[in-house]
Amino acid sequence: MRLAKLAEIEGQTIVIEWRSFLLRPEPEERSMESFTRYTHSWERPAELEPSAGFVVPWSGEHEPPSHSLPAAIASRVAATFGGPWAAYHGALLHAYFVEHRTISNFDVLIDLAGRVGIDPHEFAERFHSGANDYARQSIDDHNTAVEAGIGGVPAVVVDGRYLVSGAVDVEEYQNVLERVRAERAASG
């Protein structure tokens, strides 16, 4: 949400490039009780980003996701359709944090594609045919982030040099951008 606001303010002067960070790279079974306790950690981000609509704690209507990789693959598939990627990304976040859907479930990922105007059959075909490559790309992104010292989300790297970690106000991003612009102007 805040990066969308930043992009709205900054316009064409910035490029936001999304990368995968897998909070749960491998499948892991968790009890509903354990996962529900974990979702209480969403209370702080929910307070900081009320427009995101977080629902805390997990409702228990659906099983918790088993791992992050299926959603990361699905996001990459959505990107192959061009324009709908941002809508798909938003639908994934909404499905997880608001609807409490199991976004590691293939049927949920297909449903979300249809919701944002992506042909579900074509989406499924691209998912299956490219899953290995997309998984490798997502894991590579994740490993690069971990090697750079990133341990969670949100994390934003500005100009390849400045890490902005955690839920911060748009103004903090703007301050880092101004610093980069001043450094560039000073170096000619």
With contact defined as beta carbons under 8 Å apart, do 166 and 100 qualify? no
Say how far apart CA 6 and CA 173 lie, in whole Å.
Answer: 8
Torsion of the alpha carbons at 69, 70, 75 and 77, rounded to the nearest 10: 120
Q: Which residues pair with 24 in a beta bridge?
A: none
Q: What is the pLDDT of residue 153?
A: 85
Q: What is the pLDDT of residue 187?
A: 92
Q: Does domain 22-148 have CATH number 3.90.1640.30?
A: no
Could you give the 3-state DSSP secondary structure of residue 157? Answer: strand
Distance spanning both ends of the chain, measured CA to CA: 34
Token output for 79:
């990107």
Q: What is the pLDDT of residue 129?
A: 98
Token output for 47:
């307070």
Neighbours of 11 (CB within 10 A): 7
Say how far apart CA 82 and CA 89 lie, in whole Å.
Answer: 12
Assign 3-state DSSP to the chain and report helix, strand, coil percentages, each to 5: 60, 5, 35
CA 140 to chain centre: 16
Hey, where are the domains in the chain? 22-148
Type of residue at 186: A
With contact defined as beta carbons under 8 Å apart, do 103 and 70 qualify? yes
Token output for 108:
């949920």
Q: What is the pLDDT of residue 83?
A: 84
Sign of CA dihedral 81, 84, 86, 88: negative
Q: What is the pLDDT of residue 104?
A: 97
Return per-residue pLDDT of the chain as tens, 188 residues.
788 889 999 999 999 999 999 989 899 988 999 999 999 998 988 888 888 899 999 999 999 999 999 999 999 999 999 888 999 999 999 999 999 999 999 999 999 999 999 999 999 999 999 999 999 999 999 999 999 999 888 899 999 999 998 878 899 999 999 999 999 999 97
Q: What is the pLDDT of residue 152?
A: 85
Neighbours of 83 (CB within 10 A): 12
Q: Which of 157, 172, 153, 183 is nearest to 42 (CA)?
A: 153
Single pTM value for the model = 0.90
